Amino acid sequence: MLFLLIFLFLPGITEARERTLIGLGHFEVFDFYGAEREFEAALQMAPDSEVARLNLGLARYYLGQFSEARTIVQETLNSNPSSGHAIFLMGVLEKAVDRPDAATRHFRKLIEIDPGDFAAYYQLGLLSFARGDFSEAAQLFVRALERNTNCTSAMYNLGRSLIRDGKVKEGREVLEKFQSVRQREEAKETGGMGEPTLLQGKYAQVRQIP
């Protein structure tokens, strides 16, 4: 009986992985409608897969379907409150619907779980900048850069924050460095997915079902 259950279960997982792989291809070329279609099919085939559920949530985030995405992510948090991917995505969803306090709570919770992740600090920096606390924003962007020196978005926003905080000379120096780094990175030949999306960091990436 156990063998039969395993036999019946594996084809669904295998097909879910295949549909996820196709969805990843759509995601790479910004076809979020195509990604949503494939990720939704994958979730139907593997309804207990957290990866399948959050992939669909990410696709719907990029389609602006914030309410639908939030429902999916909340289901994950209900079953796994310490899921870094779910916490991060819920944070950006709360930020997207202009609930900065709720977003801040989620990003701070992610830092408690994974203090080495740069993306939570970066998102908190954006929230601080939006409410006009430029000094705090600069500190948060510095922390993001300490954890990921290649985060050019944090470098750019650090320069902006310093200037808005009255530290014009320091801010301009950071922005000059940003321009230099960006030109150097653009000159490289790159392949693969890169960053075709608004979000950054390991918790913002679509994934294959294990």
- Per-residue pLDDT, averaged over 52-78, amounts to 95
Write out the residue range of the structural domain in which residue 138 sits. 116-188
In a domain, 143, yes or no: yes
- Per-residue pLDDT, averaged over 48-71, amounts to 95
Helix, strand or coil, per DSSP, at residue 176: helix
Take residue 49 and report the two structure tokens written for it.
């897969």
In a domain, 39, yes or no: no
Amino acid (one-letter) located at 113: I
Residue 146: count of CB within 10 angstroms of its CB? 13
Least confident of 48-62, 114-128, 192-206: 192-206
Query: Does the pLDDT value for residue 144 go beyond 80?
Result: yes
In a domain, 137, yes or no: yes
Q: Work out how many domains the chain is built from and give that number.
A: 1
Query: Does the pLDDT value for residue 193 go beyond 50?
Result: no
CATH number of the domain where residue 164 is located: 1.25.40.10
Model pLDDT for residues 75-110, shown as the tens digit of each residue: 999 999 999 999 999 999 999 999 999 999 999 999
State the virtual CA torsion across 52, 58, 64, 66 in degrees, nearest 10.
80
Torsion sign across C-alpha atoms 71, 50, 48, 9: positive
What is the pLDDT confidence band of residue 11, given thresholds at 50, 70 and 90? low
| Residues of the chain by 3-state class (helix, strand, coil), percent to 5 | 75, 0, 25
What's residue 185's pLDDT?
64
| Block residue for tokens 């997915």 | 193
Q: How much is the pTM?
A: 0.86
In a domain, 158, yes or no: yes
In a domain, 52, yes or no: no
In a domain, 149, yes or no: yes
What's residue 89's pLDDT?
97
In a domain, 180, yes or no: yes
In a domain, 66, yes or no: no
Query: Does the pLDDT value for residue 150 go beyond 90?
Result: no
